[in-house]
Protein backbone atom coordinates (compact mmCIF):
# COMPACT_ATOMS: atom_id res chain seq x y z
CA UNK A 1 0.00 0.00 0.00
CA UNK A 2 1.42 3.36 -0.94
CA UNK A 3 0.73 6.46 1.04
CA UNK A 4 2.68 9.51 1.95
CA UNK A 5 3.93 9.23 5.50
CA UNK A 6 3.79 12.18 7.85
CA UNK A 7 6.88 12.38 9.99
CA UNK A 8 6.74 14.10 13.34
CA UNK A 9 9.95 14.97 15.16
CA UNK A 10 10.67 12.80 18.18
CA UNK A 11 10.74 14.59 21.51
CA UNK A 12 14.06 13.02 22.44
CA UNK A 13 15.87 14.16 19.33
CA UNK A 14 16.24 17.88 18.81
CA UNK A 15 18.15 17.84 15.55
CA UNK A 16 17.31 18.17 11.91
CA UNK A 17 19.52 17.16 9.01
CA UNK A 18 18.84 20.60 7.52
CA UNK A 19 20.97 22.02 10.33
CA UNK A 20 24.01 20.23 8.90
CA UNK A 21 23.55 21.29 5.27
CA UNK A 22 24.43 24.92 4.49
CA UNK A 23 21.68 26.99 2.86
CA UNK A 24 23.99 27.66 -0.10
CA UNK A 25 24.34 23.92 -0.85
CA UNK A 26 22.99 22.82 -4.28
CA UNK A 27 20.69 20.24 -2.70
CA UNK A 28 18.63 23.03 -1.14
CA UNK A 29 18.24 24.65 -4.55
CA UNK A 30 17.12 21.35 -6.06
CA UNK A 31 14.54 20.86 -3.31
CA UNK A 32 13.23 24.40 -3.79
CA UNK A 33 13.05 24.09 -7.58
CA UNK A 34 11.48 20.64 -7.99
CA UNK A 35 8.12 19.46 -6.72
CA UNK A 36 8.69 15.73 -6.18
CA UNK A 37 5.00 14.92 -5.67
CA UNK A 38 4.75 13.68 -9.29
CA UNK A 39 6.61 10.55 -8.19
CA UNK A 40 3.59 9.29 -6.23
CA UNK A 41 1.54 9.21 -9.45
CA UNK A 42 4.33 7.46 -11.38
CA UNK A 43 4.97 4.87 -8.65
CA UNK A 44 1.33 4.05 -7.87
CA UNK A 45 1.04 1.13 -10.37
CA UNK A 46 4.04 -0.60 -8.79
CA UNK A 47 2.78 -0.60 -5.20
CA UNK A 48 0.36 -3.09 -3.71
CA UNK A 49 -3.05 -1.94 -2.53
CA UNK A 50 -2.86 -4.37 0.38
CA UNK A 51 -0.19 -5.34 2.83
CA UNK A 52 2.44 -3.55 4.82
CA UNK A 53 3.44 0.03 4.03
CA UNK A 54 6.67 0.37 2.13
CA UNK A 55 9.23 3.12 1.94
CA UNK A 56 8.08 6.46 0.61
CA UNK A 57 8.82 6.49 -3.16
CA UNK A 58 9.94 10.14 -3.02
CA UNK A 59 12.59 9.26 -0.44
CA UNK A 60 13.80 6.36 -2.59
CA UNK A 61 13.97 8.66 -5.63
CA UNK A 62 15.88 11.33 -3.72
CA UNK A 63 18.41 8.78 -2.45
CA UNK A 64 19.02 7.56 -5.99
CA UNK A 65 19.26 11.13 -7.30
CA UNK A 66 21.85 12.10 -4.70
CA UNK A 67 23.80 8.91 -5.45
CA UNK A 68 23.82 9.78 -9.14
CA UNK A 69 24.78 13.42 -8.59
CA UNK A 70 27.67 12.54 -6.31
CA UNK A 71 29.00 9.63 -8.37
CA UNK A 72 27.90 6.80 -6.08
CA UNK A 73 25.26 5.32 -8.41
CA UNK A 74 25.52 1.65 -9.09
Tell me the per-residue pLDDT of 13-57, one tens digit each, with 9 for 90 and over: 667 777 888 888 888 888 889 999 999 899 888 887 776 667 888
pLDDT attached to residue 11: 60
Question: Torsions phi, psi of 33, nearest 5?
Answer: -90, -25
Distance, CA of 6 to CA of 53 (rounded, Å): 13
Structural domain boundaries of the chain? 25-69
pLDDT attached to residue 39: 93
Distance, CA of 35 to CA of 24 (rounded, Å): 19
pLDDT band at 12 (very low <50, low <70, confident <90, very high): low
Amino acid sequence: MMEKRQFAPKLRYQLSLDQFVPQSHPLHRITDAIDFSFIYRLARPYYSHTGQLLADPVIIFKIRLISYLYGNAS
